[in-house]
Chains A and B, each alone.
Chain A
Amino acid sequence: MKKNLIWIFIATAAATLLFEYSAIKSVEAAVTLEVLNPRAAIKPPPTLAPTPRVTELPGKRVGIYWNYKPGGNNFWNVVEELLKDKFPTTTILRYEGPFIPGDDLAAKIVKECDTIIYGVGD
């Protein structure tokens, strides 16, 4: 009898807990706010891999492109000097132009260089 009472007590307690848990769950879910996504879709351009690298710089033609942002020329002058010191047989070609080179300038750079350092970021 005593054993049965204990089981009844346990069952009642479990039922109470389960009820309270459900109640808590139902309170948590009492309000559902549906909101629309303000973010625009992006149609990504085709994904491309970078071009394979040159294996070494000696004997190669390296372009340095600068966008006239004041002071950048000082930095690139030193980089040119250091590259020439380290790789005497490397040709350094300097280019200047807008953030985005036009078709003609881009074609010229691509034709004249084996690899390019693009210095238009801040």
Chain B
Amino acid sequence: MLEKLGKPVVLVVTDNFAHDAKSSAEDNGMPTLRIVTVPADQYYKRRVSQEEVRPVAVNALNPIIDALTRPLTKAEANPKPKEINAASSIKIMAETHELALWKFNAMYLDNHWADGLPLLPPTPDRVKWMLKGTSRSPREVIGTVAPKNGVATIEKIAINAVMAGAKPEYLPVIIAAMEGLTDKDYDLLHVVASTGSFSLAIIVTGPIAKEIKMNSGIGFLGYGWQANASIGRAVRLSLINTGHLWPAENDMALVGRASSYTFQTFAENEENNPWKPYHVSLGFKPEDSCVTVSTVDSGFSGLLPAPVFGGGAVRPWTTDGIMDRIIKFISTNREGMTTWRRGTAIPSPMKYVLMFHPEFALELNRRNFDREKLQKYFYERTFVPYEELSPKEVESVKRRVDAGEVPADRVALFKEGLKPGGKIPLLNKPEDIHIIVAGGIPGYTFGMHYFAEGPYKPISHLTKLIRGATLTQAGR
């Protein structure tokens, strides 16, 4: 950006991010941007203090000075755009069908067009078969996909859906998920590329879930259900191939993800949901079917540990006990509060996707709680008393209020809380608690969480209507 405004810039990164930085420079139209690297094996462990990190800075100084002052070479001053192979199909020849299948899989993996598991070949006939699941044009553009801004069309998504082992009746669900992820306000770049190793929840609600036999009961995040598995895998493959994504090149998730191949794809348990379906609570019609995409913790990055609040078949649980644990978790989950700052790596307060197991939800319903009441209940009970805030936390809250980083309709509430006897909300708004009934009987109540805003774009949770279905009654 600063280069485009006419000032010479040097980008400084660690050497393990050199490929990512170069790739990002290409994506932004400046493939010969000057990049200086510092050794990752020194920088991260030494940055804890100036004294520790001094040798790294000393070694970086001359390369930085050189990159700032050495005239551009002819090649740097005349960059060429990277050529992309645009062949629409590939012919694989082999002695037998079986060998052709092996060759196809090896080639696609070598090209970084695969996920590492065997793929089904997307022959023209199979892709045509897949496209029978939607009335939408194969040429329709859904959006551009981070990090390299590939153009996702219905046809490209269908090709990836074939490779994933999906059925045509799943295609409208996969398309809707991709529409959510490529929405102009959804921060896809952060979930697909961040070192924080974030993941996705892909939640299907409405009558289509039952029609395509999605699992929402025991083992709803597990294996054995073609719809759950192949819808998630089709989204994963679509992200690899439309975003031109690859681990350790431009997907820098340090530990990968717990559900790397299929994400966390499941359906709301509508049979045991005592409340309105999730999408209806957002204003959609009961007969609509929707997909919600939500950036969530990977479950083991250490940045955002996934909490289990209770339930199960081993330890007895009580409704009050689970409620207390949820409140305690949210109200104490404020480690990053002093650094919440829009547009940075720690951009905002959290949002929560809470999975309630049916018995818990049914009991709450008996106590006259509905989803909206629960959101308000958790929101209000996780305020932090002013006296418990550290001076740095108070300063941070004041800064966020002054910078317009809290919702306009809640500024007065925050200001009121910033004085002795006051209380400060830990969440931007009650709607940042998303409650989904999922699982069987027995089941667990647990949470996934992430920032309410992404660092690059404002949305990290979005619900899209499924439309264009031709093979199911729902989603048409």
Contact = CB atoms under 8 A, between A and B. Distances in A.
Chain B, interface size: which category? 35 or more
Nearest to A107: B5
A107 B29 CA distance: 20
A113 B347 CA distance: 27
Interface in A47-94: 47-57, 62, 65, 67-72, 74-75, 77-79, 82-83, 86
Given A83-B61, A99-B344, A37 B32 contact: no
A110 B2 CA distance: 7
Interface string B75-106: 01111111011111111111111011101100
Contact of B9 (A31, A34, A77, A118): A118
B79 A37 contact: no
Nearest to B68: A115
Main secondary structure of the interface of A (DSSP, over half): loop
B344 A51 contact: no
Contacts of A120: 11
Contacts of B148: 42
B100 A31 contact: yes
Contacts of A44: 26, 29, 81-82, 84
Contacts of A117: 9-10, 12, 64, 68
Contacts of B97: 31, 33
A1 interface: no
B160 interface: yes
A119 B2 contact: no
A54 B6 contact: no
Given A74-B48, A99-B344, A51 B104 contact: no
A118 B88 CA distance: 39
Contacts, number: 274
B319 interface: no
B80 A33 contact: no
Contact of B3 (A28, A47, A50): A50
A29 B93 contact: yes
A113 B14 CA distance: 24
Nearest to A83: B61
A35 interface: yes
A47 B31 contact: yes
A100 B68 contact: no
Chain A, interface size: which category? 35 or more
B92 A74 contact: no
Contacts of B153: 40
Contact of B14 (A30, A31, A38, A121): A121
A6 interface: no
B154 to A, nearest CB: 12
Interface string B337-352: 0010111111100000
A75 B150 CA distance: 35
Interface of A: 27-57, 62, 65, 67-72, 74-75, 77-79, 82-83, 86, 97-102, 106-107, 109-110, 113-122
Please list the 4 inter-chain residue pairs (A to B) with the smallest Cβ-Cβ separation, ordered nearest first: A98-B343, A71-B47, A121-B13, A40-B150
Interface of B: 1-14, 16-17, 20-21, 26-34, 38, 40, 43-44, 47-50, 52-54, 56-58, 60-61, 64-65, 68-72, 76-82, 84-97, 99-101, 103-104, 108, 111, 113, 121-124, 127, 145, 148-153, 156, 159-160, 163, 195, 237, 241-244, 252, 339, 341-347, 455-456
Given A48-B30, A122-B40, 5 more contacts: A31-B96, A36-B90, A49-B72, A50-B30, A78-B54
